[in-house]
Amino acid sequence: MADHTYNDYIKIIESDSLETFPVYLIHGDEYLVKDVFKQLKTKLLPENKQKTNVMSIDGAIDNIPFAIEQLNTYALMPGTQIIAINDSQIFYTGQDRSELLEKGQKAFADNQINKSARFFLNLMAANKMTIKDIQPERIDETIQQITKDDSSHVQWIKDVAAHCIEKKMSVPSLMNYSDMLTETIEKGFAKRNILIITTDTVQKNRRLYKSIVKHGTVVNCQVPKGFVKVDRDQQDKTFRENAQHILTKSGKSITPDAYAMMRDMLGSGLRDFTVSLEKLIQYIGEREKITRDDVMAVLERTRQDPIFELTNAVADRNLIDALAVLDNLFANQFNPLQAIAAIANQIRRLLLIEDVKSRYKGSYRKGMSFAHFKNSCFPCVLEYDQQLAELSIQENTDSKKKKTKASTSLMIAKNPKSIYPVYLSFKSSDNYSRKDLILAIQLLYESDKRIKTGSQNNNQIIERTIIEICRRKK
């Protein structure tokens, strides 16, 4: 019945003119898709029903029969029932090998191993393979057949294959689940049931897509990635409308040169842009306008120093960014021990922050605003750094060293006037437990030792170490 863009549909959700349909398809940029789903769920269900009346179903192809069964079942709970197929792969049939490989690798790098496994299993299905083909004795031959000797996919596929075997996952059947779901939509669901499908890709010529448009609502959250003028214009329109929406809600504005600087710094990633804009809103506090100086203070990125970007990605436990920067470093023949040392220093700094949290209990809490951090926690950081400095001087004096000036290499606030970077470091520390950080130091020590022996591939050593550090344990 309707096909909307992201920005148009957000306006409809926020108005009083939202019409309820039996089926919704939300596709495109992951960040925007999740935003639409969250707001739509809030609009369709009262707050006290948003947990009990939503059934989330993994988007694997072979879960479609279960989803259909739920759609045709009258719910026991009163009120609207939402059956949500999240990250659906229903439109993936017919995608080529390289596209499935790329999506599988990206999901793996982003710590979404189950999602990565679904891409891999679909690829196996397309190649008419079975689980026997990924057993240890046959995995190398299978990888060679699937990747066509592209070595960049070997390691993640081996890890995902081992995961599939451990979790007793199966290769999906090639039967046409798309037609099954289409027929269910055409017939209609049990009363009060609503289907919401989220996915990153669609095929508009498919019968399923046309059926959803006919009986429900499609929300297009795609952000063009091309470089031709029409794509760049549409991309900028999406960014501007999204920025205006966020700024209006917070009662803020941004100067044109500050906006232009953000777009230049952050590239085409809408999620990074949105998160950074929210950081800026928090940073300016009571002021109404974000300026170029604010962007410089908060978002300045050292493109000339990729090591700095690597350590920031590790601190944020952002595996996909860390591996992307690492690929850039590999291409430029960097010294691997330099990366190990830089990451080790970052981890030690996070350990110092954990010590501050322990010593000054209550001075910091997760989600604390910048203004609150500046007033209640930062004085504790300065006091802690002073104690470290005095300890360093005392140790140098006791050992009769000539140099008695305090070392600032591992101080938390190296520049007492620059508070916001320290605030971001504290936020990054929330990504790790003390146990995680100690394990990271051990992993880095072992990697340093293996690299110095020269017995293994240095690139693989660093890559595996970063994956182990950044991956969140379930």
Q: What is the DSSP letter of 414?
A: S
pLDDT at site 406: 44
**Three-state DSSP class for 323?**
helix
Single out the residue of 123, 121, 131 nearest to residue 99, CA to CA: 123
Q: What residue ranges define each of the domains in the chain, with the CATH number in brackets?
A: 1-222 (3.40.50.300), 229-300 (1.10.8.60), 307-470 (1.20.272.10)
Please compute Rg for the chain using Cα positions.
Answer: 26
Q: Across the beta sheet with 54-58, what order do the strands follow? A: 2-5, 217-221, 23-28, 193-199, 81-86, 54-58
pTM: 0.60
Strand partners, 27: 199, 220
CB atoms within 10 A of CB 130: 11
What is each CA distance from 472 to 81, 153, 398, in whole angstroms?
32, 21, 42
- Whether residue 216 contacts residue 22, with contact meaning beta carbons closer than 8 Å, is answered with yes
The Cα 217–Cα 6 span in angstroms is 12
pLDDT at site 181: 95
**Successive 10-residue mean pLDDT values, the chain, 474 residues:** 84 85 94 92 90 90 90 87 93 71 83 86 86 92 84 86 91 79 95 94 90 95 73 82 90 92 76 85 90 83 62 87 80 76 90 93 88 90 88 62 49 78 89 93 90 75 90 66
pLDDT at site 397: 61
What is each CA distance from 372 to 254, 289, 352, in whole angstroms?
23, 20, 20
The Cα 255–Cα 277 span in angstroms is 13
Q: How far is CA 219 from the centre of its chain?
A: 21
Residue 2 parent element (H or E): strand 2-5
Strand partners, 4: 219
